[in-house]
Amino acid sequence: MSIRVAQTADVAPDAIIGADSSIWHLAQVREGAVLGRDCVVGRGAYIGSGVTMGNGCKVQNYALVYEPAVLEDGVFVGPSVVFTNDHFPRAINIDGSVKSAHDWEPVGVTVRHGASIGARAVCVAPVTIGRWATVAAGAVVTKDVPDYALVVGVPARRIGWVGEAGSPLVKEGDTTYRCPVTNSLYEETDGALAPR
């Protein structure tokens, strides 16, 4: 068991990094961040104060994961993804004084088990990305994404379903879908999908 941290990475002394994780060049992991085992934080990525990442997460190059984001196990965050954390961003208060950390309340993005966020997507907090969902590259997520949903566009909208292998599911009946990779069956009920 070992933790690999590049010399040029900036990891806060109180950040908790799980076994067999890697933090690459120019990445920053802030105070109080908790990363599970087998995580990868790519070149130039930012992990904010108090962000929590489960086991087996991958945050690719130059992604910005602002606090208080929560990533469950097996989450993939593509290159240059941004998770916002402010409802109403302003640099100054109404009286013209510069805003401090006490002048706003951060809100987070939650990404459930096995979900994937494509390159350059933006997730506008507060939103939850469901289990095994896929957010397409360049999408802007402004509302919660259901489990297994495939969402695209600005703003992001569901165009289909994906299985746990990541491939789009093939419709086989009115409410039944099949994974072309694993042959697993899924059932849609009231706009939600679950394994059969």
Same domain, 121 and 72: yes
Same domain for 110 and 191, yes or no, is no
Determine the Cα angle at 132 with ends 137 and 60, to 5°.
Answer: 45
In a 13 Å sphere around the CA of 170, the CA atoms on its Cβ side amount to 8
32 and 113 share one domain: yes
What gap in Å lies between CA 22 and CA 41, rounded to an integer?
6
| List of the chain residues with pLDDT < 70 | 1
| pLDDT for residue 87 | 84
Q: How many domains does the chain have?
A: 2
What CATH number does the domain containing 80 carry? 2.160.10.10
- Residue 9 to residue 40: CA distance in whole angstroms: 13
Q: For 116-163, what is each residue's pLDDT tens digit?
A: 999 999 999 999 999 999 999 999 999 999 999 999 999 999 999 999
Q: Are residues 129 and 171 in the same domain?
A: no
Judge if 65 and 52 occupy the same domain: yes
- End-to-end CA separation in angstroms for the chain: 38
In a domain, 98, yes or no: no
Greatest pairwise CA separation for the chain in angstroms: 61
* pLDDT score of 129: 98
Strands 127-129 and 109-111: parallel
The Cα 96–Cα 150 span in angstroms is 43
So what's the pLDDT on residue 38?
98
Same domain, 123 and 140: yes
Please name the residue that has the structure tokens 């706003």.
Answer: 104
pLDDT of residue 102: 83
DSSP code for 130: P
Q: Domain range for residue 132?
A: 4-90+104-162
Contacts 24+ apart (CB under 8 A), 172-181: none
Provide the residue count of the chain.
Answer: 196
Class of residue 189 by CB neighbours under 10 A (exposed 0-12, middle 13-18, buried 19+): exposed
Q: Which amino acid is at 160?
A: G
Q: Are 151 and 178 within one domain? A: no
Instruction: Determine the pLDDT at residue 103.
Output: 83
Q: What is the pTM of this model?
A: 0.95
